[in-house]
Structure 1
Amino acid sequence: MARLDDKRKVLKNTARGSDAEISRAISAVRIFVVAATVAFVGGGFLFVHHHFKQSNPVLRSYGDLILVGPPPWLNEELKEKIGYAATADGEDLRLDEDAAVTIQNHLRKHLVWLADPKVRVNPDSIEISGRWRKPLAQIEVNNTLFYLDAESVVLDYVEVPELPIIQIAGVRLSGLPTIGEALASPDIAAAMAILHRMDKMDRLVTPDAPLLLHIKSINIANFRGRLSKSDPHITMKSVGGTDIVWGAELDAWSEQLEASDEEKLAKLYAYYRQSRCLDDGVRFINLREPRDRIPRPVEPLPRAANPLP
């Protein structure tokens, strides 16, 4: 295991430094435990009991916290939030048998970015793991910004430039949402369902160049035709300003005589892969029109056997 340095570094992902006095066997056990934890996230965690030092060292810096399997988009600001939450805004914690429960309770109470947090206490450090909530969309209510994950759970706003986070326009909420709770608004849920499908498509079809990076916003102002029955219910806008006409919410395409949800996604991603962008001079991209409505060439009439002179 690595010895903590005295520079009070902010959360780090892997233990640094070296300590010749710690046996190789214990180091090997710790490496195995971390690897097993990463492999079984969501399916249970492996805990190894250690003999705690009699002195019960005090956890005094965020450098004593180790994140297991963090996502690549987890930046320093979020790591600092985790440190504050784990230590209850700077409280010193003793590394004893009660520390794991205490920190786990702190994380559940003060940090919504990490669902189902798990904590393991080592003689001189603490490992934190769990299910990370990835923000997909952003809403603004009363001049306050919030994030939403795939389950519409509200996250507090933190700059995450590493991720494509789409603005939801046309939101109708009477008051500020509660951080940590899922929004029950049908229009927001409809927008999130579309973005979630696109996020899956990005991972399957365009993992190296996600299409969502080219989407600026999704507009739900006319959700279910509440402003105009004839206008599209949901639209999107690209980063370059191109309008993308989606139409009805998921699973409602047949009622509106539109292309199926799968066909809309297929057309959008086919266009993107062919053009390599969404802003190549077109005014809008219409996904609503079903393929069978496209006029097909008329078969020529067969020639008469004995044409007239």
Structure 2
Amino acid sequence: MNAELKHLRYFVAVAEELNFSAAARRLYVSQQALSRVIQQLERELGVRLFDRTTRSVRLTRAGEALLESAGRSITAVQHAFDAARQAAQDGQGRPLRVDISSSGLETGARILRRLRREHPRIRVHQVEDGVPRGLAALRDGRLDMLLGLSTHCPPEVRAEVIRREPVLVGMAAGHPLARLDAVPVAMLADVELLLPSDEAAIEWVEFVRSFCRQAQVKPSRWPGATHGSAANAEVLRETGCVVPTATWADPPGDLVFRPLVEPTPILEWSMMTARSTTPRPETETLLTCARATFQLTG
């Protein structure tokens, strides 16, 4: 067997989620099929890519080395596929390429819903790679707009704040903190926090650490990592950890969300674009929809 694109896609999903169940849901395959492909890849390469225990999945040194180039390889192939599709569109123009970080969160979902409602002729190619990869895609011209925290923006990327949103903490309904109307940040010292991997969302991890530091709290991190609300919900149900988060677009009824206070962390959502490219009319239309949706009142 030679390693194929599918093997890299499956490997990257597990490396970003650090959870085989979450990665399988993301790929729409069974966990058994996913494990089989990862084992095939490890046999082909002759190295172990993950250290697995009953509680966590971690990249080995070989896995970290592969992850550095695997994402770029997949993106390059996807870019080639997109170019072929664009050439076949007979002058219709390519879709607007937008990364909203996570469709499970309310902010991006509301913006795209408004765009579809008011401008149904604008076609959108939506991805959810997150801010670190999104910034690279903006610089390379593979992305038109990125939504998220702009704290890591390089000078060549323009950012406009479109919403300021108080941060919540989510948990299972039976969690002790669920009895409170609001949760002081200092109380996060007593629980494990479910956070994304540094590779997927270092800007969010640093933001959480910053408001914990203001409350003189050293956060305890749950040993795994997930991506997306569905995977987060499963972990919250199965463990005693909690998740600092923005508002979910469709929160499950068996989870509880409470505002964080003392201090009240405010998430500044920004729309990011590359300064080096001339904005497309569709990009300006999307930005107008974002401004109109929140008007900085969120």
Q: Structure 1-normalised TM-score?
A: 0.22
When you count helix as a share of all residues, which structure comes out higher?
A: 2
* Higher normalized contact order (CA 8 Å, seq sep 6+, divided by chain length): 2
Which of structures 1 and 2 has the bigger CA Rg? 1
What TM-score do you get using the length of structure 2 for normalisation? Answer: 0.22
